[in-house]
Chain A
Amino acid sequence: MPTVNDFLLILPEVVLLIWALLILLIDLWIPDTKKYYTAVLSAAGLVISAGCAFALLGRTGSAFSNMVVLDGFSSVLSILFLLSGLAAVALAYDYLKRNAAQRGEYYTLLLFSIAGMMLMASANDLIMVFLSLELLSIPLYILAGFFRPRLASEEAALKYFLLGAFSSAILLFGIAWIYGSTGHTDFPGIVASIDGGRANYLLLLIGAGLLLVGFGFKIGVFPFHMWVPDTYQGSPSSIGAFMTVATKAAGFAALLRVFLVLFPAEAPIMAGILWGLSAASMIFGNTVAIAQMNMKRLLAYSSIANAGYILMAFVPYGNPVIAQEAVSSALFYLLAYALTSFGAWAVMIALEPAESDGLLLQDFSGLGRKYPWLGAALLISMLSFIGVPLTMGFWGKFYLFKTAVDGSQIPLVLIGLLTSLVSAYYYLRIVMFAYFKPGEPQIQPGRWASVVAVICAAGIFVLSFIPTPVFQFAAQMIMGMK
């Protein structure tokens, strides 16, 4: 029988799913003019779930005969997903209203997707990994096409769906190979089989490679990134912002856990593949971003490059000491990246008129003079993306580079540094438009996007004064992993 403990360990997920269903029902009785309540309700659900996650912080254990585990890693990421969800709700409310797409399904689907991400971070069985990946993806396919029948939105959804289904199939194929090799899908069983010498090494390696492709698609690294710019551009901006942060974090959650737990022995071989993916993403993302004049596409390429940076620290994961450091740096960077990315998207959403496919860089002209707060938020976000000191982005990159240096990945660090330099070009160009070009940007009705922008910018700045405690917290949280 399942004990209370089993349910307690997945309480945040359970609360969120039940809440999502309630919202679906309640929304039927909320008239179109009062959709405010739906947004507030879903925010409340996210907050309650986050409260549960906070209460569980520091607890460890596994539930449902090792289907899921709760540890510091999953708790921290769950909270990150829930906070991203809050940001996505705050960014969506005014934006959906402006685009005449205020429908309760948005919030239900968003909550489903977040529940999938949280399960993904705590999955301890390859079947759970696959199912939670689907649970996070399918609502996102719909959300990407939420502005149907607008063509760009439909296109974004269809491309995401087709390629997502393709990559899911590849992931499932990989799981089949691993099952074929070890006879297990649960992590402890696989590990025991590998340690006992009963697993077939070759099959395991192929399985690992296929899993990497599946996760690589979700985190959007080169060459599995192709969907990223089109989908981000066509999707509703609030969903674009949510995907750049949360989907990527969820992909990393599964990638880090699966590779650390299941394939530490394969690290020398996998390192080569990870090296290539990381280097190619940094180079490709940062270079092509230069040619972008559309803010959404620019941020999409920037997100590809950032995935490369996080992967960089993970290349030498075979060394257990480095692996700990790499996971802590990755968590730290994900936090920094979440603040930075939401900050940038929020500024754009605050200015984005209805029926638009994202602002052009020229549209930011005059922002600094006309709206000093939004201009400052944009400036801080861009500096953080570049990695200028006194921002969280600086410390995030600092820890990633340090981990890579500790793992003696000097060439990769050099590529990272050089591409950061290249990235300064396009980030600063946005700043240049905002501060040095005359123009009359017009802020759209509703202030929630501006609030998110300012909060994120403040977070980027303030937390940069206390990087060590934040990093120590991340390091302490992942101590019990495995």
Chain B
Amino acid sequence: MFLSEIFSDPAFSLVPWVVFFPLAGIILNLIFSRRWEEKLTALTACLAAGGSFVISLLLMLALTHHPEGATITLLEWINTGSLQINWAFRVDTLSVTMMLVVSGVGTLIHIYAAGYMHYDVRINGDPSRYSRFFIFFNLFILAMMLLVSADNYLMLFVGWEGVGLCSYLLIGFWFEKGADGIANARAAKKAFLVNRIGDVGLLIALFLMFWNFGSLQFDTVFARAPEVAAATPAVLLAMTLFMLLGVAGKSAQLPLYVWLPDAMAGPTPVSALIHAATMVTAGVYLVARSHTLYSLVPAAQTTVVWLGALTALFAATIAVAQNDIKKVLAYSTISQLGFMVAAVGMGAFTAGLFHLTTHAFFKALLFLAAGSVILGMEDVRKLDETNLSDSFHHSHVDPQDMTLMGGLRRKMPVTFWVYLMGALALAGIAPLAGFFSKDEILAAASQNGLLVFLVLLAAAFLTAFYMGRQLWLVFFGKPRSENAENARENTALIVLPLILLAGLTVLGGLLNFPGSLALEGWLEHTLGKGINGEFNSMVAGISLIVSITGLVTAWFVYSRYSGEIKKLDPLEDMFGAVFIGARNKWYVDELYHAIIVRPLEGLSQQLAQPVDQGLIDGIAVGFGSLTKAIAQSWRSIENGFVRSYALALLLGIVLIFSYLVIR
């Protein structure tokens, strides 16, 4: 493709296709989907995502021989004096790892969505949105690929904004649904606004970077970082902290995590792909990518560690008290992201990315399985009987409420088994993937400091507890509603990706198995030697004991939960007010509303009346009507007579001549 550039491996020049494949998918579906059947639309989208995955695999193979990677410049983008930025793709072990996760998990979820959305668009009564969904989904893959394959911060930012846009569009996919008909639209708006706060932070960081480094290209910035750190350490601190604000927004960390639970308003495949497996890990990727900057500022690193650790514990406490099956998983995601952020903050990049990868597997699995449960609770049979008509009114039972489930183990055996895999992996039970990755983070934390270690351990205990609680509420005991009674297993298209993901969940630990440490050696080429969370049998033992304790506690508490409808949660009996607080998310949303939203609204009310409508409008309208009046009067010059036109021409010539003569 680019003969002028010589790469160590020709496969590297394929990298732009990770973006072109989804682009082709979007274009084809934009043009043809109106005429195509659903299957063809879905197939196109799946092939587009799959194509990206194949390219990522090829890149991985090429990297095993030439681990130094390459930078492929596709096109010059901006070239104006001091600012030179290209559309350039970076192939190295870090970016390819992310590409594999995004496109691999992405492809599986595309396949799942092909089946899931078939029912979802009918349950929600608008089958015409099927193709729209896949266009947005491919657009997301495109933007995410741009984000992880960028060779400079500006291109990364384009991807960053792109995934934000897709997230917004997909959260509000059923924008007219939800409580009062606007809850989903509100959730989308909330995600968008909270992310904007983070994006402003990132943007400020980029401005600072361009101001001080004169470049946004990764290599140039990193090469000059020590020099700037020596000269003006405050600048680097500000830059990293503003970047951290962006991370907190995108990866749902304290204090900007509030959008992620609401984001569950989107269809389940969206929750799985965007709000669990991939997009929310962009922040972790950003810190890992900028590790050169962070390692120069210890204060920033400490902030990152504590931000992650506190988020992990805080979100876990909320997850314990939720009744909505997806909300539990959402808070769990926030909590696990906290683990990852803490890990990359400690310098344990491998551990962070290892957990990122395994988490992508088992959390995607959990969400998809949850989606399967929800579909089961929706009672799809009725849909089939009414011939999938648009007028189908589904039952008023909330299909996501765990208190209404129970006993699904027998009704949906495959879903149960894969859910069990995912839950145990998340809880950190050996030898599933989550055990190894979480253990590495804990091992690194034990070297970092006792307090951080204890906080993370507490979070791990709560993780095991709320997953145990969920397992018991959903799958064991007796069915607590008619829908649960009638639930049944889903079609192969939905179940197949679940089984594949379950396989990855079981085997994911091999990626960085103690002793071989394949992932670590792989990432070292890009990230250098970080703090390696070496396998520490004592830490491993402790964490395993903690996890099992959590599960067993959950069993003790909930095995007796007879599940008569509206009966109190057993924990509420024991802890009372504390549990109520956790169930209400510690009133953080209400707090934000009181201290930020309401004063802002008040201020804007104050400004709107006298200042905006009086002064600003007055000026704007004044100028507007003045210009209009001028336009009307000048317009009369154009009176339609040729003689006047010729006269104007003549006067023009006279003016030019007068200028030439008088000059």
- Closest Cβ neighbor of A406 among chain B residues: B81
Stretch with Cβ within 8 A of A (4 or more), from B119-127, B232-240, B480-488, B645-653: B645-653
For the complex, give the distance between the alpha carbons of A365 and B508 in Å: 57
Q: Is the CB of A287 within 8 A of B630?
A: yes
For the complex, give the distance between the alpha carbons of A163 and B87 in Å: 49
Asked if B392 is at the interface (CB within 8 A of a chain A CB), the reply is: no
For the complex, give the distance between the alpha carbons of A30 and B90 in Å: 58
Contact bitstring A385-418, B, C-beta under 8 A = 1, else 0? 0000000000000000010000000000000000
Q: Is the CB of A224 within 8 A of B75?
A: no
Q: Is the CB of A468 within 8 A of B78?
A: yes
Stretch with Cβ within 8 A of A (4 or more), from B171-179, B553-561, B654-662: B654-662
Asked if B492 is at the interface (CB within 8 A of a chain A CB), the reply is: no
Q: Is the CB of A158 within 8 A of B660?
A: no
Asked if A56 is at the interface (CB within 8 A of a chain B CB), the reply is: no
Asked if A320 is at the interface (CB within 8 A of a chain B CB), the reply is: no
- Closest Cβ neighbor of A170 among chain B residues: B653
Also in contact, A226 and B656, with CB within 8 A (given A166-B649, A287-B627): no
Asked if A358 is at the interface (CB within 8 A of a chain B CB), the reply is: no
Q: What is the distance, in angstroms, from A9's C-beta to the closest C-beta of chain B?
A: 30
Give the dominant DSSP class at B's interface.
helix
Also in contact, A226 and B645, with CB within 8 A (given A287-B630, A288-B631, A290-B627): yes
Asked if B389 is at the interface (CB within 8 A of a chain A CB), the reply is: no
Asked if A476 is at the interface (CB within 8 A of a chain B CB), the reply is: no
Also in contact, A230 and B640, with CB within 8 A (given A223-B651, A468-B76): yes
Q: What is the distance, in angstroms, from A210's C-beta to the closest C-beta of chain B?
A: 8
Also in contact, A291 and B631, with CB within 8 A (given A226-B645, A272-B663): yes
Asked if B638 is at the interface (CB within 8 A of a chain A CB), the reply is: yes
Q: Is the CB of B652 within 8 A of A472?
A: no
Q: What is the distance, in angstroms, from B11's C-beta to the closest C-beta of chain A?
A: 24
Also in contact, A163 and B628, with CB within 8 A (given A209-B660, A472-B76): no
Q: Is the CB of A226 within 8 A of B75?
A: no
The residues in B between 110 and 148 inclusive whose CB is less than 8 angstroms from any CB of A are none
Give the dominant DSSP class at A's interface.
helix
Contact bitstring A78-106, B, C-beta under 8 A = 1, else 0? 00000000000000000000000000000
Residue in B79, B80, B656 whose CB lies within 8 Å of A213: B656
Residue in A226, A284, A289 whose CB lies within 8 Å of B649: A226
Chain A residues within an 8 Å CB radius of B649: 163, 166-167, 213, 217, 223-224, 226
Q: What is the distance, in angstroms, from B195's C-beta to the closest C-beta of chain A?
A: 20
Also in contact, A162 and B77, with CB within 8 A (given A272-B659, A272-B663): no
Chain A residues within an 8 Å CB radius of B566: none
For the complex, give the distance between the alpha carbons of A217 and B650 in Å: 12
Residue in B75, B87, B646, B660 whose CB lies within 8 Å of A166: B646
Asked if A159 is at the interface (CB within 8 A of a chain B CB), the reply is: yes
Q: What is the distance, in angstroms, from B81's C-beta to the closest C-beta of chain A?
A: 9
Also in contact, A288 and B645, with CB within 8 A (given A223-B651, A466-B77, A468-B76): no
Asked if B538 is at the interface (CB within 8 A of a chain A CB), the reply is: no
Asked if A269 is at the interface (CB within 8 A of a chain B CB), the reply is: yes
The residues in A between 244 and 298 inclusive whose CB is less than 8 angstroms from any CB of B are 269, 272-273, 276, 284, 287-292
- Closest Cβ neighbor of A426 among chain B residues: B631
For the complex, give the distance between the alpha carbons of A363 and B79 in Å: 42
Q: What is the distance, in angstroms, from B457's C-beta to the closest C-beta of chain A?
A: 48
Q: What is the distance, in angstroms, from A407's C-beta to the closest C-beta of chain B?
A: 15
Residue in A159, A216, A224, A422 whose CB lies within 8 Å of B627: A422
Q: What is the distance, in angstroms, from B625's C-beta to the closest C-beta of chain A?
A: 11
For the complex, give the distance between the alpha carbons of A466 and B86 in Å: 9
Asked if A41 is at the interface (CB within 8 A of a chain B CB), the reply is: no
For the complex, give the distance between the alpha carbons of A290 and B628 in Å: 7
Q: Is the CB of A227 within 8 A of B645?
A: yes
Asked if A359 is at the interface (CB within 8 A of a chain B CB), the reply is: no
Q: What is the distance, in angstroms, from A357's C-beta to the closest C-beta of chain B?
A: 13
Max chain B Cβ within 10 angstroms of own Cβ: one of A226, A289, A425: A226
Q: Is the CB of A288 within 8 A of B635?
A: yes
For the complex, give the distance between the alpha carbons of A167 and B646 in Å: 9
Q: Is the CB of A290 within 8 A of B651?
A: no
Chain A residues within an 8 Å CB radius of B651: 223
Q: What is the distance, in angstroms, from B60's C-beta to the closest C-beta of chain A?
A: 28
Residue in B634, B646, B656, B659 whose CB lies within 8 Å of A284: B634
- Closest Cβ neighbor of A159 among chain B residues: B642
Chain B residues within an 8 Å CB radius of A425: 624, 627
For the complex, give the distance between the alpha carbons of A216 and B624 in Å: 30
Also in contact, A163 and B76, with CB within 8 A (given A209-B657, A209-B660): no
Residue in A162, A209, A269, A467 whose CB lies within 8 Å of B646: A162
Asked if A436 is at the interface (CB within 8 A of a chain B CB), the reply is: no
Q: What is the distance, in angstroms, from B30's C-beta to the closest C-beta of chain A?
A: 10
- Closest Cβ neighbor of B86 among chain A residues: A468
Max chain A Cβ within 10 angstroms of own Cβ: one of B76, B642, B644: B642
- Closest Cβ neighbor of B640 among chain A residues: A230
For the complex, give the distance between the alpha carbons of A472 and B628 in Å: 40
Chain A residues within an 8 Å CB radius of B638: 226, 229-230, 288
- Closest Cβ neighbor of A210 among chain B residues: B653
Asked if B632 is at the interface (CB within 8 A of a chain A CB), the reply is: yes
Q: Is the CB of A468 within 8 A of B635?
A: no
Contact bitstring A203-218, B, C-beta under 8 A = 1, else 0? 0011001101100110
Q: Is the CB of A159 within 8 A of B656?
A: no
Q: Is the CB of A269 within 8 A of B645?
A: no
Chain A residues within an 8 Å CB radius of B652: 213, 216, 223-224
Contact bitstring A448-472, B, C-beta under 8 A = 1, else 0? 0000000000000000011111001
Max chain A Cβ within 10 angstroms of own Cβ: one of B79, B637, B652: B652
Also in contact, A269 and B653, with CB within 8 A (given A163-B645, A226-B648, A466-B75): no
For the complex, give the distance between the alpha carbons of A197 and B628 in Å: 52
Chain A residues within an 8 Å CB radius of B78: 467-468
Q: What is the distance, in angstroms, from B381's C-beta to the closest C-beta of chain A?
A: 37
Q: Is the CB of B646 within 8 A of A163?
A: yes
Residue in A205, A229, A466, A472 whose CB lies within 8 Å of B660: A205
For the complex, give the distance between the alpha carbons of A466 and B655 in Å: 42
Residue in A158, A269, A466, A467 whose CB lies within 8 Å of B642: A158
- Closest Cβ neighbor of B77 among chain A residues: A468
- Closest Cβ neighbor of B158 among chain A residues: A465
For the complex, give the distance between the alpha carbons of A158 and B640 in Å: 12
Contact bitstring B217-257, A, C-beta under 8 A = 1, else 0? 00000000000000000000000000000000000000000
Chain A residues within an 8 Å CB radius of B663: 269, 272
- Closest Cβ neighbor of B653 among chain A residues: A213
The residues in B between 195 and 227 inclusive whose CB is less than 8 angstroms from any CB of A are none
For the complex, give the distance between the alpha carbons of A224 and B646 in Å: 9
Q: Is the CB of B632 within 8 A of A206?
A: no
For the complex, give the distance between the alpha carbons of A230 and B632 in Å: 17
For the complex, give the distance between the alpha carbons of A402 and B80 in Å: 9
Q: Is the CB of A269 within 8 A of B660?
A: yes
A-B contacts besides A158-B642, A284-B634, A402-B80, 18 pairs, CB < 8 Å: A159-B645, A162-B646, A213-B653, A213-B656, A216-B652, A223-B649, A223-B655, A224-B649, A226-B648, A229-B638, A273-B656, A276-B659, A287-B634, A288-B638, A291-B628, A465-B75, A466-B87, A468-B78
The 10 closest A-B CB pairs, nearest first, are: A226-B645, A291-B631, A468-B76, A223-B652, A290-B631, A468-B79, A291-B635, A466-B75, A223-B648, A287-B631
Q: List 6 A-B contacts (CB under 8 A).
A: A212-B656, A213-B656, A223-B649, A288-B635, A466-B75, A469-B75
